[in-house]
Amino acid sequence: MDNLQHTIPVRNWLNAHSQPLLISGPCSVETEEQFVQTAKLLAATGRVHLLRGGLWKPRTRPNSFEGVGAIGLSWMVNAKNETGIPITTEVATAEHVEICLKHGVDVLWIGARTTVNPFSVQEIADALKGVDIPVIVKNPVNPDLQLWIGALERIYQSGVKKIVAMHRGFSHFGDSIYRNKPMWEIPIALNPQYPELSIFCDPSHICGRRDLLLQVAQKALDLGMDGLMLESHLTPDMAWSDAKQQVTPLALIELLDQLQVRATSTDDRNFVNELHALCSRIDKVDEEIIQLIAKRMNITGELGRYKKDHNITILQVDRWKEIIETRTMLADKLGLTREFIMNYLEQLHKESIRTQTRIMNDDAGGVPNRDNATNSTSL
Ligand code: PEP
Ligand code: MN
């Protein structure tokens, strides 16, 4: 099945003459004046390509503002007519989809609390059958890549091809500077599986506070994400939801001006040549690393056979501790992080135990084939 293999990249359907691609607007549509005025200020920046505003707000606790609902659709349409910028809002039910389609909303988004529920996503997907409207699917609140992919697939299977995956971070228990932890490895894992799928980042909901927005937005761009969603509001401190993370249109521009937008490639001959030279050096180092790992495993095999001959256990706790201590000290001296080198050592240790266990269990006393093969090399 060609699941998600033929999505249409955002640059092919979103009209944009500036970088980065940007979705902005208030967390919630509050009043017609608030939305239209914010939209006008955003339009004046010339940097916003899609206007956002939440009409139906899924709130963590009851008795909070839950959105103005359908009445705000005509305010959003007015803002679009005044500014010429297309509009997007969050949908959580088939009814929301239908009413948005009736009013001419340009792009729909599925929120993190809806993505977690396959029944809800399927209901939305069914309501979208035969409709050509772009859909943004935010990651589920929990760090479950398969659940995110599943939601994207449900929308794709309904016939929607203009799809954006939006990274908005993941909820967690305990302290963090973030409202939702970015866990960058999750959107990074999505990219190689679906190279055509556009991925946006929503720093506002990751950070939950203004002062972190720039660094998270920059990281998203550095990772090659296709665009950003940043909440903005005429008077952020007075916002009816997510007040701490919203910025004024002016602050939005200041933030954008500080962002470094880097290209993913270039035609510049010198650059391409230099890049190839650097890549070849990396290829060579990688080859040497793999040769050295094989050499190390070969010695591990010898060690296993020696322990077996002398009836000694595989796991030598003191030796493992010594390896961790000396290797992390060296790594530290060389500027490598402890976390990185520990990950490497743990993988090495696992493989080494596996090799030695195989040797211990080899009743014939002979050497397993793989070791025979490595023994015969010049390593
Ligand atoms: C929002 O965009 O305002 C929103 C509710 O987002 P999320 O679904 O990411 O929490
Ligand atoms: Mn919000």
pLDDT digit string (tens) for 155-196?
A: 999 999 999 999 999 999 999 999 999 999 999 999 889 999
Give yes or no for residue 150 having a pLDDT over 90: yes
Q: Could you identify the atom of ligand 1 that is nearest to the CA of residue 168?
A: 9
CA of 163 to the centre of ligand 2 (A): 21
Ligand (nearest to CA of 66): 1
The arithmetic mean of pLDDT across residues 200-221, rounded, is: 98
Q: What is the 3-state secondary structure (H, E, C) of the chain?
A: CCCCCCCCCHHHCCCCCCCCEEEEECCECCCHHHHHHHHHHHHHHCCCCEEECECCCCCCCCCCCCCCHHHHHHHHHHHHHHHCCCEEEECCCHHHHHHHHHHCCCEEEECHHHHCCHHHHHHHHHHCCCCCCCEEEECCCCCCHHHHHHHHHHHHHCCCCCEEEEECCECCCCCCCCCCECCCHHHHHHHHHCCCCEEEECHHHHHCCHHHHHHHHHHHHHCCCCEEEEEECCCHHHCCCCHHHCECHHHHHHHHHHCCCCCCCCCCHHHHHHHHHHHHHHHHHHHHHHHHHHHHHHHHHHHHHHHHHCCCCCCCHHHHHHHHHHHHHHHHHCCCCHHHHHHHHHHHHHHHHHHHHHHHHCCCCCCCHHHHHHHCCCC
Indicate which residue's Cα is closest to atom 9 of ligand 1: 112
Indicate which residue's Cα is closest to atom 3 of ligand 1: 27
Return the pLDDT at 214: 98
What are the structural domains, with CATH classification, of the chain?
10-258 (3.20.20.70), 269-375 (1.20.59.10)
Does ligand 1 have an atom closer than 6 angstroms to the CB of 205?
yes
Return the pLDDT at 371: 40
The pTM for the full model equals 0.79
Return the pLDDT at 1: 59
Does ligand 1 have an atom closer than 6 angstroms to the CB of 138?
yes
Provide the mean pLDDT of the chain.
92
Ligand (nearest to CA of 111): 1
Indicate which residue's Cα is closest to atom 2 of ligand 1: 27
Return the pLDDT at 365: 47
Share of the chain above pLDDT 70, in %: 95
Per the CB < 8 A criterion, the answer to whether 137 and 118 are in contact is: no
Angle at 105 between CA 99 and CA 107, to 5 degrees: 120
Report pLDDT digits (tens) over 323-345: 999 999 999 999 999 999 999 99
Give yes or no for residue 376 having a pLDDT over 70: no
